A and B are shown apart, each in its own frame.
Chain A
């Protein structure tokens, strides 16, 4: 189970409180009725599905209920940062990125963190 930082509540909470909400920074075309079938398929179905750094939306559904964005490594599942919805795509600080690559094999879990606290 992942440990996720909600940028609105400013707290690290367990994944059980959150709902994954797909790739971030996808804008619905303004002229949705006018675009071609290819463009619609691209907007509606095609996603990056990156191996490595990904930008995605999460919703703190059993908390504040709000959507926010996250940068996560899909190999280690480690969250590199979370930030509020509406902000542009945030660059990853170099040291966070280096740390994430070094830790690519380890998975940070809620159970581990709770274990440390005890």
Chain B
């Protein structure tokens, strides 16, 4: 792999950009691999990358039904933060945030991580108490998070309406300055390029249709639309389709797949300096580097794999955005799309071993998986390589639904992740 650098750009500028390499290859699958990862999103590609980089396993295939990064990695609102309440959550999201900070250098790929701040608006006394509890928990754990008065919030985001007569009055805000955004495609592409460079096979347009198991119940490989591919270990990282893939091995996981929508506006001049979330009225918004306002809506109430969603859901969010930021009332929306999120009963992810030997699962990231991409991938690689979870991900095991050690972020943290 030829490294990207300012000198490479200068060199290519001199010869009409004809010397750039392909970022990754599309090989035909081998008959077997040491590790197969199902799902080439950020989490799956990242796990392959860290397996190769940190654990010395390079005989890996990442198998993807569609195109890489085309599922939830390419469908989210790219918000990154780590201000969760419980230690299990703080551990993994903060691990992830620390990796985000050096990810572009590590991958030699500009992931456009921008720590522009994530502000969560408080509208009532309950919000205020809850956010202050989060702030205290975070600070005690060494994670930055601070309380802002309405005036300080407006200083940070000048277009915010903090008037007393507003439809949704604001009595303060929590701000995590290290939170922010990154470029979603670049994350998938950067991991794909770096993994392929270390010998990982990325096999796109290849659907897993079955998981073959041996006499002792252990995994032997996957049946795919390109035939059988053997594997000693299989890691499932299939987001909204995790239930479908796990069912192939006879493992039931406690997931609901729900559509989650997002939308972007026409491009505007820079006007919005950070990410603002309001859990109470359910709106979250940031501005991309292209100038589009990126707006996240809520999930639909029913299980679905349709990658669409009801219009009433985005209308509800846009109503709230227009009240919080009256200046955006006449902005036109340009595109809308849906992704399929995999939600667990306690709204915390599942990463761990399964009852099937050689089968590992990484799912349940629900509405907030993008921010966790590097951390989740890094710890999933550890899990697959060692066969046991890393200390930071130990609490996220599948067994917690039997033992009752749930990580109940649904009640305590945000609606919006």
| Contact surface of A with B, Cβ cutoff 8 Å | 1-2, 15-16, 19-20, 37-38, 40-42, 44-51, 54, 56, 72, 74-77, 107, 109, 111
Q: Which residues of B sit under 8 angstroms from A111, Cβ to Cβ?
A: 311
Tell me the bound Cα distance from A11 to B115 in angstroms: 52
Given contacts A1-B312, A19-B301, contact A49 B306 (CB under 8 A): no
Q: Contact at B302–A107, with CB atoms within 8 Å?
A: no
Q: Contact at A1–B311, with CB atoms within 8 Å?
A: yes
Q: Which residues of A sit under 8 angstroms from B241, Cβ to Cβ?
A: 51
Q: Contact at B302–A20, with CB atoms within 8 Å?
A: yes
Q: Contact at B302–A56, with CB atoms within 8 Å?
A: yes
* Chain B: minimal CB distance from A38 (Å): 6
Tell me the bound Cα distance from A27 to B305 in angstroms: 26
| Contact surface of B with A, Cβ cutoff 8 Å | 241, 243-244, 252-257, 301-306, 308, 310-312, 345, 401-404
* Chain B: minimal CB distance from A112 (Å): 11
Q: Contact at B402–A74, with CB atoms within 8 Å?
A: no
DSSP majority for the B interface?
A: loop
Q: Contact at A38–B312, with CB atoms within 8 Å?
A: no
Q: Contact at A20–B244, with CB atoms within 8 Å?
A: no
Tell me the bound Cα distance from A50 to B243 in angstroms: 8
Q: Which residues of B sit under 8 angstroms from A72, Cβ to Cβ?
A: 302
Q: Contact at B312–A16, with CB atoms within 8 Å?
A: yes
Tell me the bound Cα distance from A50 to B256 in angstroms: 9
Q: Contact at B401–A51, with CB atoms within 8 Å?
A: no
Q: Contact at A15–B310, with CB atoms within 8 Å?
A: yes
| Residue in contact with B304 in the complex, picked from A38, A41, A77, CB distance below 8 Å | A77
* 8 tightest A-B CB contacts, nearest first: A45-B254, A49-B243, A20-B301, A20-B302, A1-B310, A41-B402, A45-B401, A46-B252
Q: Which residues of A sit under 8 angstroms from B244, Cβ to Cβ?
A: 51
| Residue in contact with B306 in the complex, picked from A47, A50, A74, CB distance below 8 Å | A74
Q: Which residues of B sit under 8 angstroms from A77, Cβ to Cβ?
A: 302, 304, 306, 308
